[in-house]
Structure 1
Amino acid sequence: MAAALLALALGGCAPVIQFRSQDKAGTNEPAPPTEMITEQLITVERQQHQDVANQGLDELLVPNPAPYAIGSGDVLSIVVWDHPELAGTAVNASPGAPDPSGANAAPPGFVVDHLGRIQFPLIGLVPVEGLTEEEARAVLTKKLSRYLAGPNVTLRVQSYRSKRVYIDGEVKAPGLQAINDIPMTLVEALNRAGGLLPTADQSRIVLERSQQRYRVNLRDLVQKGINPGLVMLKPGDVVRVQSRDESKIFVSGEVITPKALTMHDGRLTLNEALGESGGISPLSGDARQVYVVRKTSGRTRVFRLDAREASSLALAEAFELQPKDIVYVAATPLANWNRNLSLLIPGALTSAVSATTRP
């Protein structure tokens, strides 16, 4: 009987695994269909990935950024030559007792109030919010010309305090970054934050603007010949550089070393995942049943590769994994039979092998 069971296990066909899931009520849902990994499937998956990566990217690319516009809270330095009596002072100090520490003191100059105006001698309140330095200088010159003959005005932003972006995640110095006269591109903001840490995932940079969320893949932009310096930030933007640890692939089943793998800047192929796990176990792994389980919005997808075919290596190298994918290698029928029998009758496999080899 033991010999017959062993022969049946060795000659049987490998069953295909059926992956089932449960809904919130705990009832079993129908098993998702298994999709064979083919060249056609890889082409479709690659195109869908490109469409998602490029979604909304045109809104972020600004080849010719506009000059800095003065905003509420900025401090302006204004000099009217030959009229030192019109020099600005720290006009934004709160009334009352002075601050001995000086922590809240602003540099001397003309502070743009919450309505976008400055208080200037002779001419009173002057709206400057939304104007460039050149435009604000022209407005002041025109108004002063009513009281002064040929006024020579110099105006510049002394302290940039109205526009900021926030950098978070895997950078050396996360925090607020003030937008100044240098255009605040994504690359500029990352450099001001000290650059990316070694744990940063350059393929998963999230930019949140108002109610919109954009995913920026720096590696993909460079490969397409798009300058990342064209990605322009706006005031209030939040940039988060995600960690590589958030983009892991899980390899389990009949491989030499089951483990969680970190993607290489957003890229890891099925072939690389199997290779970094030591490959399929020659003793118990079924090369006909290499699965990739992927949770997408609304459903679970299951991909299958038959690694015995001649083209399987090329297909595995071309099939790119996504974060949180699970690579699973099924066991051979003999391995399953051995494990089940060992649970029921310890030592039964040794007896069966001895029975078949006994003279």
Structure 2
Amino acid sequence: MKFLAPLICTGFLTACGVAYVTPQVSERSVAGLEVDVVPMTVSSVTAANAAPYTPRPLPAVYSQSISAGSTPTGAGAPPAQPVSEQLRPDSIPTLLPDPQPQRPYLIGVGDIVALSSPQLSSPSVDDDGAAGTQQRYTVQDDGAIAIANVGRVVIAGQTLEAAETELFQRFVENQIDPAFSLEILEFNSQRVNVGGAVNTPSVLPIQFVPLYLDDALTLAGGANASEPQFTTVRLYRDGTLYQVALDEVRTQRVQLQDGDSIFVDAAYDYTRAQAFFEEQIALAEVQRGRRQAALDQLRTELLLRRTQQQEARAVFQEKLELGAVDRDYVYLMGELDEQSRFALPFGQRAVLADAISSTGGIPNETGNASQIYVLRAGEDAASVNAWRLDGRNAANLILATRFELRPDDIVFVSEQPITRWSRFLDQLFPSLLSASVD
């Protein structure tokens, strides 16, 4: 009788719900809350996902590309141009460079290109200010242009077609619609200097169309010489000086190339021409030195910005680990491998399957797959919406990959009936043994 008395008493307490209490989801009004249990179906999932929600964004430091503007370089003061007398020559010998094969235009530093794309509507760091979907970019000292959401793309030294291929590949790698057009707006990288006895001394750009010696003189306003047959046109290229009489220029179709310097000498002064070319060389040296200094400064600036970006990301990660960053959570309760809270990701939405998988899933021995709930506060403070997923049919689990979670949702999994009895017995037997000993 001593053994049966505790058993009868414990059974009575169990029937009264005192010996073992297990959480359940019920539509009964509890604590002033009205619970509405809805089976999870395609239509009910669609209705639940209609609840407005904007995921918290990552800090801007995670989406910014590292780029820096080009530092302009000056040419410095040109050297003085010497002047001396020169007697009229009997004839002007013709000395011209060997004909060069025509080559396609290669994009270079300083060129300004226009990129038109429906997905590039925001200006880049080194953008020249154009509005709309056409963006202007200056090819910087490292040969690259900086494109938002793509990064730095090196196009210097490439033809327009090769640059388009490179941009197409980078757009595809960054999942951007590769429908775009590329054109060169300003040709600044390849130039020819024209000076001496011309009406308008000029620096002429080389473009897609080949530039010839007679065309360059025309663009410089023509030669300012009363005796063309005694006027010398001198061409300085790669350390070699060439020349031809002015009245023979049109018959000698000399194609110009980047770095050529032309001097029209109406006074038969070779020394003046030589001084002009030395001036161009000195000018090029000054520009080269300042360009290198600008490139070094650009690299230093990029390194500094990259370091600042890495430090900002590290600070954010430390705050995140310490819980000092506002996060949205979903709470996981009931028969799961681990009861915890699931942090909703930044910048995207999470679904029920993400939350359940984060804990290791539902244990087959204890979890009731037919009673998986998502509890969410209703529109008023006295209502609770409960969506019930019946996972006994594995096909229904596809709904878990579609059901979007919202902040403060509660994912609850009921226990198996046999689990409830097993736990009851685990509590009961120690009491029986203790009673029998007494």
Determine which structure has more spread, i.e. the larger CA radius of gyration: 2
Bigger fraction of residues in helix: 2
Bigger fraction of residues in strand: 1
Does 1 or 2 have the higher relative contact order (CA < 8 Å, sep 6+)? 2
TM-score by length of 1: 0.43
